[in-house]
Structure formats: structure tokens, C-alpha cells
A and B are shown apart, each in its own frame.
Chain A
Amino acid sequence: MPWRLEFDSSRIRTPWWTPILSVALALVLCAIFIYANGMSPLTVYSKMVKGAFGTSYGITETLVKAIPLLLCGLGIAVAYRISVWNIGAEGQLIVGAIAATAVTIYFPNLSGFWSILLMLIFGVAAGALWGLLTAIPKTHFGVNELITSLMLNYVALLALDYVTFGPWKDPQGFNMPGSPVFTDAQSLPVLGATRLHIGLIFALVAVVIYYLMIRFTRWGYELRLIGANPNAARYAGIHINRHIIIVMLISGGLAGLAGMAEVSGVSHKLMQGISPGYGYTAIIVAWLAKLNPLGLVVTSVLFGGLIVGGFSVQTIGLPSSISEMLQGAILFFLIAGDMVTRFRIRRGA
């Protein structure tokens, strides 16, 4: 054989176009399935794009969805920097929402400022605690964080069912599960007549802080060192376990903040389906962005659009989970692309 494929393990950086190509390939793959199911892929995709970006309502809705994705994605990115595979953002978001709602139940008469501040603190603390429940088994008992964080997602979901069907059920809610509707003092301010709320500012501030921390602090340097070579970092005297706990606290706290912003800014009450899988989508958001802060902003808007577009295809009788399928396919092509670009064609036997 005059030509052969050679694997170049020294090439770590992948070209900038792999994320774009993987999105394109995923679109093609899903188009095949849609076509095989007797639908026109062009109709479906144009419907999705129009739904997400075609109208000013669509655009603000896309941004509304991008807020939790950006916050969760940022948290996930922090953990992934040191190869802590947190897939529990979904549960961390839910407990954040529950804790923020607890403030409205137990302190109903606070002024706007204090009530929002307390909800923020509760939401972030609950999410961080949920992250800690993943970190401690990993650092002290060697339990794989993937399993723990995922199990805790189901526990959080059941806890949400419990409070919304049980003790916090709105007596005026026509027997529907869900907490009482928040007062204006308990709701985040919104932009004009849209649903776009001030959580967007939280998320953007968090992105800037993330960038500055990773780039310019000793902590960020240590994270980068652990990410590049954990053994070298250990020999250099860096406490990896301590870092695991810190990143999981941050990761969970950011997801908890996302949960608080969702109840206080969007749904204005605690209910089922507070998250249509934001925590899982945020995994792909973080991975597609290559953990890069600016990339995170772009990918979370893109995936916000994917969710909104997913909802808009329901009008032509397709399930909104079509966007989940696209997300999985994007991730497949992305990890494949990351590796394929490390092969080279060489001449010689």
C-alpha cells in the first residue's frame, strides 16, 4: 500500500471548522430520517429556523432559552476543564428552582430587592449543594461522577413532583400541580413586553468572570494545568480533590442560578417541566464551544434556537424531541470530527 493513515496523537487542537461541519452533517443525517418518515426535511428545517429566528418573538424566545443553556453550559465547562464529567446540571437546575420557590413560600412579604436577593442566594446554594453531593462521593469514595450526577437528576425530578403535587400545591390552581404564582416582587424584571428577563445579564456577567478567572488567576492556571496533565499537576503539589470540589460547587451553583432565573423570570411559578432538558443540552453546548467563553455564547443561542424551533415543528405534527435527536447527532459528529482530524494520510508502506 502506497498510502496509509497515521494517527498523530500530538495534535490536540482541532481545526475551527469541525464544529460547523458536525452541525451540518447532523442536519443531513436527521434529514434522511425525516425524509424516510415521509416528511420533507426542507419544510421541517425551514419551519424550525423561522420559528426560532424569523420573528422578533422568536428571537426573544430563543434568547430566553439561551439563558439557562449559557449558565448551565458555563458550569459544565468549568468542570470539564479538569475532566469532571458533570451531567447533573438538570438536577442542579431543578433544586435551584425549588429552593428559590421556597423563598416565595416561606417569606412571602419581602420587598422586591430582598426577595430577589434571597431567591438568588437560595437557588445558587441549593445547586452548589447538589453539585457537592456529586463531588464528595467522587473525591472521598472514588464513585464515578457520571452515575452520581445522573442519579441525582432523577432524585431532583421526584422532589419537584413531590412539592408541586404535595405541600406547595396552589390551592387556587384548579387542582393543577404547581406552586402559587409569584408576585411582582418575586419576579425578575423583563424587557418591555417580551419574556426576556434580566437573567441574560447574569449569564453574560458570568461568562466574563469565567473568562477572567480562567485566563488571569492562579486558580484558572491550576485548572488549565490539571486539564492538560493531571499527573504533572499532582506532582506540582496541586490538590486535585480540592479542585474537583470547587468546580462542582461552581458548576452546581451556576445551574442553580439558571433554575432560579427560570422560575423567577420565565414561569413565575414552580411546575413540572420547568426544564425541557436544559441540563443535558448544555453538555453539548459546552462541548461544541470547546469550553471557550465566546463560543459558549454563540452555541447557547444556537441551541436556544434549536429548542424553540423544535417546539414550532409541533404544529406540523412532529415531536419537539426532534431537536434532542439533532443534538445527539451533532455530538456524535463532533467527537468523531475531533478525532478524524488527527489522522493524517502518509505515503509509504
Chain B
Amino acid sequence: MDFVTQLLIAAITAGTPLLLATLGGILNERAGIIQLGAEGLMLMGAVTTCIVFIRTENLGAALLASVGVTAALGLVHAFLSITLRANQTMSGLAMTLFGSGFSAYLGKSISGNPLPGILPRLHLDFLKPVPVIGDIFGNLDVLTWLSFVLVIVLHLLIHRTSWGLHLRAVGDSPATADVMGVHVRLIRYGYVTVGAMLIGLAGADMVLTVAPTWNEGLTAGRGWIAVGLVIFARWNPVRALLCAYFFGALDSLGFRMQLLGSAIPPYFLKMIPYVVTILVLMYLGYRNRNKPSGTPESLGVPYIREQRF
């Protein structure tokens, strides 16, 4: 395999958790709720997966548990921001702080222990003869394939179905949606919960592929990068895929340059994804300064029936 193919595979591997978390963020924000707790949710998803996987040696149970735990945390965020109309920024921050502390507490006993397995891969032998495609798609794990399916499903859901119309209406103009008979709160609760589950799955994906073991704070800011990617992808699942892989490539490019004996100290290579996130957001802000950014119009604004804005 040549360097480019290897880089593409690495980009997909490193990009999949980012993609899952970004998709979760898109669902949240399309419904009008900011989710800044992604980092904490990913950590909780990851630690739950590790604990249940090590205890039961059953991957399905581990994934279910991690999705269940993050769904519960998503409900907490939904309750605070939808029912209580609390500050969504602060609620997300609390989620991240609580998630990083709680995951470290829970994971203390299994820290550094290897997991009993990794994600099963789909060996598509019929793709083998095809040059580059075969190398890339012939041997991907199940969560990566799930993420492909999710991109298509969410794209169709958001842009082609009446459910998606309701979702966009709830995020852009909840008052109008309410008048049209759409159940604003229910829809928001639903998408915040599902979004949190996807972010939890992103955490599970991180521990089940790259380094199959739990370490305190192993997400290293990927949750926050995903929060940036939601904006970068302009709340669009297909763009999210491209953006996530772009960042996956940046991530692994640094690692690869280190292996190749680059003269640049590794610390600077590791800074690349963070610096690029800021630069890209600045570029987008500059380019879109005079036009709508695609932000759901009621993002972060609690909806109160009968209140005029």
C-alpha cells in the first residue's frame, strides 16, 4: 500500500469517532440545543464501554451500556435546557467537567488494562482486486460502516422527510413549529437524547479501535474538535463526513511524520488539529461574514410558548 492509501485509511480510523460525535452534535443543534458536553459524553461512553466489556467480555452489551449511559446524560442536559430553560453553555460545561471527573473515578480500577477485543471488521473479499478501493473499504470495522449508514440516513432524514422538516422547524423557529402542531419539546428531547447517544458511541469507537484500553482523559479534546466540526460542516451530515476525515488525516499525518523521523518536534505536530480548527473557523467566519452561516436560527434560545421574541 502506498503512503496516500495508508493515510486515507488512517484518516477514516481517526475520523470515525469525530464523525459520530459531529453527527450527534448536528442532531442536537438542528433541534436548537447547544451541546458543549461532547467531551464529557465521549469520555463517559468510552469508560462505560471499557468497564462493561472487561466485566462481561460481551461487545454488544458494552456498546449498549455506553449508549444507555450517554442517553441518560443527554436527558439531563435536555431537562436542564428544555424544561428548566437553563443556560445551555453552562449545562454543557458541567457535563464535560462531570464526565471527565466521573469517568476517571469509574475507570480508576481498570486504567491501563487491555480490553478483551476490538471492533469486528467486515472482510469484503470481493473488493480485494479493486486497487485503492479494496485496500480502503475491504477491511473496515462495524462502527465505521455504521457511521457511513448514519451519514446517509441523517442526510435523507434532515433534508428529505417530514420528520426532518419538523426538526429543522424546531431549530429555526420553534414558535412557528408549535403553531403548526409540532410538539417542540418532545422533538427537542428526542434529538438531544439521540445526539448524546451518538457522541457516546464516538467515545466507544475511540477505545475499541485505536488503543483498546482506558486511560484517564483519553479523548484529548476530540469532543471539542467535534463541537467545532459541527460549525465547520455547517450542520450538514455529508459535509461532516468530509470534515471529520480531514481532521482524522491531520491527526494521523502528525503521527506519521513522527515515524518518518521528521525534524519537527512531535509536540508541534500534535498541535496541528487544534490550531487548524481555530484557523478554519476564522476563515469560515471571514468568508461568511455577510451571509447567513447556516446556524439554526433559534440555537441556544429556550422556547417559551406565548413569549414573543
Q: List 10 A-B contacts (CB under 8 A).
A: A147-B227, A147-B228, A147-B278, A280-B97, A283-B97, A319-B216, A325-B98, A325-B101, A328-B97, A332-B94
Chain B interface residue count, Cβ-Cβ cutoff 8 angstroms: 50
Using Cβ atoms and an 8 Å threshold, which residues of chain B touch A154?
220-221, 271, 274
A152 near B267 with CB under 8 A, answer: no
Chief secondary structure at chain A's binding surface = helix
Most buried by A among B84, B265, B286, B293: B84
In the complex, B102 has a CB within 8 A of chain A: yes
Q: How far is the CA of A37 from the CA of B108 in the complex (A)?
A: 12
Which residues, 243 to 281 on B, are CB-close (under 8 Å) to A? Answer: 265, 267-268, 270-271, 274-275, 277-278, 281
Using Cβ atoms and an 8 Å threshold, which residues of chain B touch A155?
271, 274-275
> Nearest 7 pairs between A and B by C-beta?
A328-B98, A324-B101, A325-B101, A141-B285, A321-B104, A328-B97, A331-B94
B105 near A319 with CB under 8 A, answer: yes
In the complex, B36 has a CB within 8 A of chain A: yes
Q: How distant is A321 from chain B, measured CB to nearest CB, in Å? A: 4
Which residues, 146 to 178 on A, are CB-close (under 8 Å) to B? Answer: 146-148, 150-155, 158-159, 161-162, 165-166
In the complex, A251 has a CB within 8 A of chain B: no
Using Cβ atoms and an 8 Å threshold, which residues of chain B touch A283?
93, 97
**Which of these, B90, B99, B101, contacts A323 with CB under 8 Å?**
B101
Q: How far is the CA of A58 from the CA of B134 in the complex (A)?
A: 63
Chain A interface residue count, Cβ-Cβ cutoff 8 angstroms: 48
> Interface of A with B (CB < 8 Å)?
7, 9, 33, 37, 85, 87, 137, 141-144, 146-148, 150-155, 158-159, 161-162, 165-166, 280, 283-284, 287, 318-319, 321-329, 331-332, 335-336, 338-340
Given contacts A144-B231, A148-B281, A158-B271, contact A336 B86 (CB under 8 A): yes
Using Cβ atoms and an 8 Å threshold, which residues of chain B touch A151?
221, 224-225, 228, 274-275, 277-278
Which residues, 82 to 121 on B, are CB-close (under 8 Å) to A? Answer: 84-87, 89-91, 93-102, 104-105, 108
Given contacts A151-B224, A151-B277, A154-B274, contact A332 B101 (CB under 8 A): no
In the complex, B76 has a CB within 8 A of chain A: yes
Q: How far is the CA of A2 from the CA of B307 in the complex (A)?
A: 23
In the complex, B160 has a CB within 8 A of chain A: no
Residue interface bits B173-188, CB-to-A below 8 A is 1, else 0: 0000000000000000
Q: How far is the CA of A144 from the CA of B221 in the complex (A)?
A: 16
Q: How distant is B73 from chain A, measured CB to nearest CB, in Å? A: 10
Q: How far is the CA of A283 from the CA of B40 in the complex (A)?
A: 16
Using Cβ atoms and an 8 Å threshold, which residues of chain A touch B100?
321, 324, 328
In the complex, B210 has a CB within 8 A of chain A: no
Q: How distant is B247 from chain A, measured CB to nearest CB, in Å? A: 12
Using Cβ atoms and an 8 Å threshold, which residues of chain A touch B216?
319, 321
Q: How far is the CA of A331 from the CA of B100 in the complex (A)?
A: 14
A152 near B94 with CB under 8 A, answer: no
**Known contacts A166-B267, A338-B87, then 16 further A-B pairs from the complex at CB < 8 Å, ordered by chain A residue:** A137-B281, A147-B224, A150-B221, A150-B224, A152-B278, A162-B267, A283-B93, A318-B108, A323-B101, A324-B100, A328-B95, A328-B97, A331-B94, A332-B80, A332-B98, A335-B80
In the complex, B61 has a CB within 8 A of chain A: no
Q: How far is the CA of A143 from the CA of B289 in the complex (A)?
A: 11
In the complex, B282 has a CB within 8 A of chain A: yes
B89 near A146 with CB under 8 A, answer: yes
Given contacts A9-B307, A319-B105, A323-B101, contact A143 B89 (CB under 8 A): no
